[in-house]
Amino acid sequence: MSSSKTNRREFLKTTGLGLTALSLSDGLLSSTGKGTRPNIIFIMSDDHAAHALSCYGSKINQTPHLDRLAQEGMRFDNCFCTNSICAPSRAVILTRKYSHLNGILDNRLKFDGTQQTFPKLLQQAGYQTAMIGKWHLKSDSTGFDYWNILPGQGDYYNPDLIAMGERKQYPGYVTDIITDIALDWLTRRDSQKPFCLMYQHKAPHRNWMPGPKYLNLYDNEEIPEPATLFDDYATKSRAAFEQEMTIEKHLWDGHDLKFIPETAKATEDSRLWLREIGRLTPEQRKLWDEAYEAENKAFKEAKLTGKDLTRWKYQRYIKDYLRSVASIDENVGRLLDYLDENDLAKNTIVVYTSDQGFYLGDHGWFDKRFMYEESLRMPLLVRYPEEIMAGSVNTDIVLNLDFAPTFLDYAGVSTPADMQGVSMKPILHGKTPADWRQAMYYHYYEFPGAHSVKKHYGIRTQTHKLIHFYDDIDAWELYDLIKDPEELKNVYDDPTYSEVVKQLKADLKALQEKYQDTEAMQYNDEK
C-alpha cells in the first residue's frame, strides 16, 4: 500500500498535477487494489441510435449485453454530438476540439494525425494503446502501439483491414472479426501496463448488411413504426423538404433494400450492390438468397404503392439495421465475458457509444446530420464498478467533446490548455458540478453533399432548441422540447416565445465566442 502511494505521488509529480488534481483524482489508484491506473475500453459503433438499445427504452429491439453496461454502470440520457456525422465526431473525440478547430468539418477531409490527441497523451503517460476497427479519418492512425483498421467505411463481409500499414483480407463478418482482433490484442498485451483500447464497429452503418447468424431474425414479425414516419414537416423550414434521406424515396433497391437490380451496372446503386454481394463466399451467398428470396417474391407480387410501399421499405430497412445491431450486442457480450474471465472487469472503464445517432424512420428518414434529437443524441454507457454506481442514470448535458478529458482525468494525465470539453468524472461519481453546462452548441457543414442536409448550427438547452439553417437558405427553427419532444412544431414565429428566442440567440453567440466559432457568427443575425 505504501509503495503504491509513493508511486502515485511520483506519478502526479511527473505529470505536473498539483494538489487540486490530487484531491480530484482521489480513488485513482486505490480502485484496483493493485495500485495501478484504470484501463479504458472505448467501444464505439457507427450510427447506432440510442432508441435502438433496450436500456434506453427501445420499442423495437433487445440488446441484453449492452444493457449490462447500463445495469452495472451509468446511462447518460443527454449525451450529444457537436456535428452529427462520422469523421467529424471521431475527430472531436480524439482531439477534444470542435470541428472548426480540428479541421474535420465533414467526411471528405483528411485528418491531420500530427495533432494532439488523447491516445497520444495516454501513450506518453505509459498506457498501451490500440485502435481496432472503424477509423474513417483517411490518414493512418497515430498515437497507438497497435492499430488495425478498416480502410474508409470498410466492408461487412470478408473485409480488408490495415494492420500497422499492411492490408489483408479477413474471412467472415466484420463485427465478429473486429472483436476477434480486439480479444487477440488483449491477450497479447503487456499485462504490467494499463491499456486504452479503442474497439470500434462499422455496424450498423448503411447498407445494413446483417451477419449470417442474424439474417432471419425478425422474420414474420412486424417492427413497430415510429410515430413520426409520415411527418409532413408542416411548420419546418425548406431544409426539411429538400433533404434526400427519406424512407419513401431515397433508399436504393439493391444496396439498401436488398433486391438484385435488374438494370445491372447501370446505376450507382447496382454498382455498389453488385460489389457488396460479390464479396460473399458461395456459402454466405446461399444463406443470403434463402433469407430474402421469399419476401422479395411476395413483395413483387403485392405491387404496393403510396404509404403501403413506404411501410414495407421501413420494415426491410429497420430489420436489417437491427440485425446488424444484434451482432454488435453479441460481440460486446463476448468482450465483457473476456473481462470477467480475466479479472479485468473491476479495473477497466468500459464505455459504449456511437459516433452519432440516426433516424430509424423518425420524420420519415434514415441517416443523421440534422440537429433534431434522434441523430443529435449519442448513446453513452459507462461502467467502472469501483467508482460508478450500478444502474445510475444522468440527465446533464454531456458531449463527445467531454470523453477525452474524462479519460485523461481518470488516468491522472494533465490536459493541455487549449482543450475544449470538460471531464465527466464528478458526474460519474454522482456529483454534478454547480457550474456544469446548461446548453450545448452544434454545427453541421457537409452541404452540398450526400443526403442534401443544409448547413446549420444551433443551441440546445434542457428545454429548448434553436436552429439556424444558413448558406443557400436563412431559416430559424425553435422547438419547445418539453411540450413537443418529437420536434413537430417549429414555434420560432410564435410571439409567446419571443423572449426565449432572444435569450437563446444571446446564449448561442456566447457559445460561439467560447468555442471560437467566430466564422459562424456572421450568419447569426436575421435578414
Instruction: Give the footprint of ligand SGN on this chain (CB under 6 A).
Output: 46-47, 85-86, 107, 136, 205-207, 255, 272, 367, 450-451
Instruction: Report the distance separating Cα 53 and Cα 325, nearest Å.
Output: 9
**Chosen from Ca ion, ligand SGN, none, partner binding at 207 (C-beta under 5 to 8 Å by type):** ligand SGN
Our CA dihedral for 174, 152, 285, 273, rounded to 10 degrees, sits at 150
> Quick one: 167 or 275, whose CB is closer to ligand SGN?
275
Under rule CB under 5 A, residue 355 binds Ca ion: yes
Check: CB of residue 233 under 8 Å from CB of residue 243.
no
Alpha-helix runs per DSSP H in 227-346: 238-242, 268-278, 282-302, 306-341
Smallest separation (angstroms) from Ca ion to the CB of 456: 18
Smallest separation (angstroms) from ligand SGN to the CB of 165: 22
The conformational region for residue 158 under phi > 0 = left, psi -120 to 50 = alpha, else beta, is left
> Quick one: 207 or 415, whose CB is closer to ligand SGN?
207
Q: At what angle do helices 64-72 and 306-341 cross, to 10 degrees?
A: 60
- Residue least distant from Ca ion (Cβ): 86
Check: CB of residue 257 under 8 Å from CB of residue 318.
no
* Site mask for Ca ion (CB under 5 A), range 168-207, x = bound: ----------------------------------------
> Quick one: 63 or 354, whose CB is closer to Ca ion?
354
Under rule CB under 5 A, residue 47 binds Ca ion: yes
> Quick one: 86 or 277, whose CB is closer to Ca ion?
86
> Quick one: 75 or 454, whose CB is closer to ligand SGN?
454
Under rule CB under 5 A, residue 106 binds Ca ion: no
The conformational region for residue 73 under phi > 0 = left, psi -120 to 50 = alpha, else beta, is beta
Residue 476, C-beta contacts closer than 8 angstroms, at least 6 positions apart = 237, 466, 467, 468, 469, 492, 501, 526
Check: CB of residue 356 under 8 Å from CB of residue 243.
no
Residue given cell 468555442 in the structure block: 515
Smallest separation (angstroms) from ligand SGN to the CB of 200: 12
- Chosen residue from 74, 79, 86, 382 binding Ca ion by CB under 5 A: 86
- Residue least distant from ligand SGN (Cβ): 86
Amino acid at 429: H
**Chosen from ligand SGN, Ca ion, none, partner binding at 450 (C-beta under 5 to 8 Å by type):** ligand SGN
**Chosen from Ca ion, ligand SGN, none, partner binding at 107 (C-beta under 5 to 8 Å by type):** ligand SGN
Instruction: Report the distance separating Cα 527 and Cα 523, nearest Å.
Output: 9
- Chosen residue from 25, 31, 40, 46 binding Ca ion by CB under 5 A: 46
Smallest separation (angstroms) from ligand SGN to the CB of 47: 6
Binding site for Ca ion (CB under 5 A): 46-47, 86, 355
